[in-house]
């Protein structure tokens, strides 16, 4: 008999298809009455698959008293109340490592595009301005510049590897210094001060909330660039907007925002920002691998075995 699985939102199609084959799938977002669906499944649901960035909070966990595992589609679990899960003995898993390459590729693409302004130059050519106004403005080179990585974890280390191939110099800040061949800074302000490009790839959540604030951006300065592939919550977004508008920093490359998918339209007017719609892991291969790992964790747990990528 198939195990029941509660899926919170419509997500990656291939993964959902596999879930439909493996489990008796309950699609929470399709339920006409969410509370009634939860009540009807409460006695049998042991596993929940989460996708997207809605909250998995204590109230949802309390509605599912038999819940044993929350398997997230994604490595970042800032939307899941980990303390509440721990208190209830619920295992939380993520999709660590399988997305490192794609996210690091995207981070590097943002560094390259933000400094070299390729998207803006493409727009310039398409608008016929090359013909009418001549060659595009000079941009900034990567080689010899210092990339400060805030959050040198699994993905951060992959970004460092790629940036070295671009002949960038790497420094970093984590709460804990690591045994790596890069210079360490004791806080985000010092890292920003010592960097040409500050790249954020920490987890989101309360601990990192608005870690990138006016003090950090002041330290980065008018020649400095910010790249954020972590979570919108890590950056004080209104302050960043102001700093970009007033050219108090040179530019920004962003994949993540405070209230996705809402991006303040003022950002669209900026010539010194490259904006992506939270797509760092969004390739066919990586999304398949993420789904495979998410499902594997659930199946392992339900068959009494340890999960592959536990968070708590
Ligand atoms: P990870 O291996 O856990 O690395 C996170 C790093 O951040 C660690 O080195 C950690 O070191 C550091 N860190 C944590 N809290 C910090 C703080 N308060 N101040 C400074 N450094 C801190 O995680 P990962 O797999 O590389 O993923 C990192 C994050 O990237 C995810 O949580 C997610 O939010 C984001 N992400 C975004 C996308 C996207 O599509 N844009 C895709 C994947 C992941 P210490 O513990 O020593 O501080
Ligand atoms: C996904 C991500 O876009 O893994 C993460 O933390 O942000 C991305 O890979 C997202 O989690 C999909 O829901």
- What pLDDT score does 169 carry? 99
Task: Examine the pLDDT at 312 and tell me if it is beyond 90.
Answer: no
Quote the number of domains for the chain. 2
The percentage of the chain sitting over the pLDDT mark of 70, rounded to a whole number, equals 100
With bands split at pLDDT 50, 70 and 90, how would you rate the model's confidence at 1?
Answer: confident
pLDDT, averaged across the chain = 98
Q: Is 156 in the pocket of ligand 1 (CB under 6 A)?
A: yes
Asked whether 162 and 105 are in contact (CB, 8 A), the reply is: yes
pLDDT tier, 238 (very low <50, low <70, confident <90, very high otherwise): very high
Residue 310 lies in a domain: no
Q: Find the domain containing 244 and state its range.
A: 100-275
pTM of the model: 0.98
Pocket test for ligand 2, best of 75, 156, 289 (most atoms within 8 A of CB): 75
14 and 119 inside one domain: no
- Which DSSP string corresponds to 18-63? HHHHHSEEEEGGG-SSHHHHHHHHTTT--EEEE-SS--B-HHHHHH
Q: Quote the pLDDT of residue 90.
A: 98
For ligand 1, the distance from its centroid to the CA atom of residue 85, given in whole angstroms, is 20
What CATH number does the domain containing 50 carry? 3.40.50.720
Strand residue runs (E) in the chain: 4-7, 24-27, 47-50, 69-72, 91-93, 146-150, 169-173, 183-184, 197-200, 225-228, 251-254, 273-275
Q: What is the mean pLDDT of residues 68-95?
A: 98
pLDDT value for 256: 98
My answer on whether 291 and 159 are in the same domain is no
278 is annotated as an active-site residue: yes
Flag whether 309 is in a domain. no
Say yes or no: 131 and 175 in one domain. Answer: yes
260 is catalytic: yes
Condensed to tens digits (0 to 9), the pLDDT of residues 261-299 reads 999 999 999 999 999 999 999 999 999 999 999 999 999
Whole-angstrom distance, CA of residue 243 vs CA of residue 303: 52
Please check the confidence at residue 35 and state whether its pLDDT lies above 90. Answer: yes
């Amino acid at each position: 008999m198939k195990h029941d699985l509660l899926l919170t939102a419509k997500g990656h199609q291939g993964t959902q298809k596999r879930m439909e084959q493996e489990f008796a799938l309950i699609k929470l977002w399709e339920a006409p009455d969410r509370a009634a669906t939860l009540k009807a499944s409460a006695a049998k649901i042991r596993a929940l698959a989460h996708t997207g960035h809605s909250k998995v909070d204590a109230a949802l966990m309390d509605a599912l008293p038999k819940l044993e595992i929350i398997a997230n589609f994604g490595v970042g679990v800032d939307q899941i109340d980990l303390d509440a899960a721990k208190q209830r003995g619920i295992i939380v898993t993520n999709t660590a490592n399988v997305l490192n390459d794609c996210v690091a590729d995207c981070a590097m693409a943002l560094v390259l595009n933000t400094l070299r302004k390729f998207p803006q130059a493409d727009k310039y050519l398409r608008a016929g301005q090359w013909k009418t106004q001549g060659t595009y403005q000079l941009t900034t080179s990567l080689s010899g510049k210092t990339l400060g990585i805030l959050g040198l974890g699994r993905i951060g280390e992959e970004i460092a590897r790629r940036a070295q191939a671009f002949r960038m110099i790497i420094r970093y800040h984590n709460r804990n210094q690591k045994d790596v061949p890069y210079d360490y800074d004791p806080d985000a302000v010092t890292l920003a001060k010592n960097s040409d490009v500050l790249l954020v790839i920490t987890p989101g959540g309360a601990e990192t909330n608005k870690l990138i604030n006016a003090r950090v951006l002041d330290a980065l300065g008018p020649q400095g660039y910010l790249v954020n592939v972590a979570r919108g919550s890590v950056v004080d977004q209104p302050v960043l907007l102001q700093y970009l508008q007033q050219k108090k920093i040179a530019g920004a490359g962003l994949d993540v925002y405070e209230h996705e998918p809402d991006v303040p339209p003022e950002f669209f007017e900026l010539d010194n920002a490259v904006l992506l719609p939270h797509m760092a892991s969004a390739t066919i291969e990586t999304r398949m691998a993420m789904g495979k790992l998410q499902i594997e964790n659930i199946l392992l747990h339900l068959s009494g075995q340890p999960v592959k990528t536990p968070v708590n």
